[in-house]
Amino acid sequence: MKVHIVAIAVVVMAIIFLSGCKEEEMVALQVSVADSNVSYKSGEVIVVYKREVRKSAIDTLHRQCGASVKKELFKNGSKRIDLVKLPASMSVEEAIKYYQQRPEVESVEPNRIRRKYKTIPNDANISSQWHLDRTFDSSGATLIDMNATSAWDTTQGYSAMIVAVIDTGIDSAHPDLRTQLWHNSKEGVIADGVDNDGNGYIDDAIGYDFVNHDNDPNDDDVDGHGTHVAGLIAAEGNNSTGMSGVAWRASIMALKILDSEGYGDTANEIEAIRYAVDNGAKIINMSIGGECADEASNGEYEAIAYARDNGVLVVVASGNDTCNTDVTPTYPAGHPLDNIIAVGATNRFGEAAWFSNYGASSVHLSAPGEDIFSTVPLAKGSYALMSGTSMATPIVTGSALLVLGYDSNVSYKQLREKLVGSAIQSSKLEGKNLVEGNLDVGSALFWNAAMHRPIKPALTSVIKSNNFISLSWMDYSTVESGYRLKRATTLENNVTQTWDLSVDTVSFTDTQVPLSEGDSYFYWVEAYNSVGVTQSNVVAINIPLSAPVILSISASYGNRVQLDWNDTSNVEEGYIIYRSSSFWGGFSEIARMQSDSTTFTDTTTTAETTYYYMIKAYKSTNLSAESNLVQVLTPKEIVQEASASSSGGGAFGFGDLLVLGLLLLGLRGANRREAG
């Protein structure tokens, strides 16, 4: 029996309702800790338009699917980002497919959930601020020292320096914080219901609440997360009350984007970043982020790039999920922007905290983050211990304020280099951050980058195109004399090509690479000056093998399927056959064939079953792309295999005896006819 190949035709139909889409009011975000798998808000997307798109084109774009602009989040020259409200009939996934096809749109993305980074401490009895100076630790157990007391001998901060805290809000009545808050002098002393400074926000005296859309960024978080963060940055020092922040003097701008459970979204975050920059912040603290391996937000990237273009440093928590963020990045910490400091957490022994994310290229330095004492709202007891990269981050932010208190003229890149470059290196942090070091603010104040090797660059992107390979990296130094990009064919530094590149170079295209199928290439970047050389991470790129093409598939029996394909590769070691009973996935390897094979028979199938097959060529661990996908329905009939003989010489099986008996009966009948 021959079964014809069943062709697979997947027709994707986009049905756009031009009218009649019933819109519903979005329910306020209510996400509990138990709902931590929620990754974005329903009913909304964030749209980044291409430059120079007219407003009329934008209006038409949304009207055609029944959507509308809920809020303009960001506008910088001809660049615009909107939060778009979807009709009730359209899912986020459908909206993304729709907007991705439109020529007016640069990118579209969900309004992703952002959450605080906090880990519950194990030891509730620790009440001293060991993170500032180990002499403060009465137990004598602390082994690291960020040398805050040394810094305080020179500066205690700078009252006019504005630092924005994008978090759950701040308790403005706290005695250790009320004198440290930013006051928007352009808005006036009295709340009069008028936008006196014309910035789009009414009576925003100390900041803004982007969750409740009012001028009261009060911290109603269950833990008091934002207040804890603010205290670590700049709780008033030397006032005989409570505790001391890293900086004793500062101007803290309270920007609330997280609700009472510690959840918010990128739309509010983008708007808060713009607010912070436009209203004079020089540093932004974001002890927030998404899940490991989450997709990057282009809108978030654009907002932080806007901060960079205005000279603003952004200090971000790396996260508390014990992820290697070189492999599974978190955002916003993972954006490849040189105004970001991504912070990991350490314990009092100088080790990476058990919860802290890490990354030899993506986390830039570490700071104390376990059992950290700071302010919380008065209703929650005024002071408490917390743990997390959320705590390490404001300690770095407070240190940045001290550096600016000493020299307010340093650029964001110089400020970043002082903090990262002066970190105390430790073998305990090998592979944990870019400089394998702990924060040392006492050294950061006087750090002269020109007397040291450049901070090592970090390769962030290696992309293969048709005839070349494009590379990008982060330039983390202000004192390099140049860069050397190297290409090798093995990890043992078998260098085949070197390029000398100028200062501040951050990308290169290798047009000389052979790109032969099955080959592997290794790239890294070296930064150098008169003091020495530093090397980036090494990134490998494999040139895939040519994918096979399945020519035919047939099922002559229920337990026998035959595949035939083209051998398209010249270097493969063999082929891997994959099978699934579902078109949507679940493929598993069922066989490996030797090099130059072009046919395979699967004898493990079941009758009257639909199967899907695909093939890949392989060479060591290098795999080709998938072949075309083919489908077959096995028939009812199966192959009758001969029965095995029972043990013992000359013995007959039951089938043999049956055939022999029939033959004997036939012979007896013939003999009777002859006798008659």
Contact in structure between 580 and 586 (CB atoms under 8 Å): yes
CA atoms within 13 A on the CB side of 459: 25
Q: How many CB atoms lie within 10 A of CB 302?
A: 22
**Which one is catalytic: 390, 422, 569, 624?**
390
Contact in structure between 298 and 49 (CB atoms under 8 Å): no
Residue type, 594: Q
Helices 266-278 and 298-309: angle between axes, nearest 10 degrees? 10
Instruction: Decide if 167 is catalytic.
Output: yes
Tell me the C-alpha distance between 233 and 227, whole Å.
10
Contact in structure between 545 and 569 (CB atoms under 8 Å): yes
Q: How many CB atoms lie within 10 A of CB 631?
A: 14
Contact in structure between 574 and 594 (CB atoms under 8 Å): yes
Tell me the C-alpha distance between 571 and 431, whole Å.
36
CA distances from 355 to 62, 212, 468 (A): 43, 31, 40
Phi-psi region of 463 (alpha: psi -120 to 50; beta: other; left: phi over 0): beta
Contact in structure between 250 and 163 (CB atoms under 8 Å): yes
**Which one is catalytic: 82, 133, 137, 167?**
167
Contact in structure between 321 and 329 (CB atoms under 8 Å): no
Instruction: Decide if 225 is catalytic.
Output: yes
**Which one is catalytic: 131, 174, 225, 364?**
225
Tell me the C-alpha distance between 439 and 144, whole Å.
9
The DSSP 8-state label assigned to residue 455 in this structure reads: P
Instruction: Decide if 183 is catalytic.
Output: no
CA distances from 441 to 90, 243, 446 (A): 51, 18, 9
Bridge partners of residue 615, in order along the sequence = 577
For 99, the token pair is 């907007």
Tell me the C-alpha distance between 190 and 203, whole Å.
8
Active site residues: 167, 225, 390
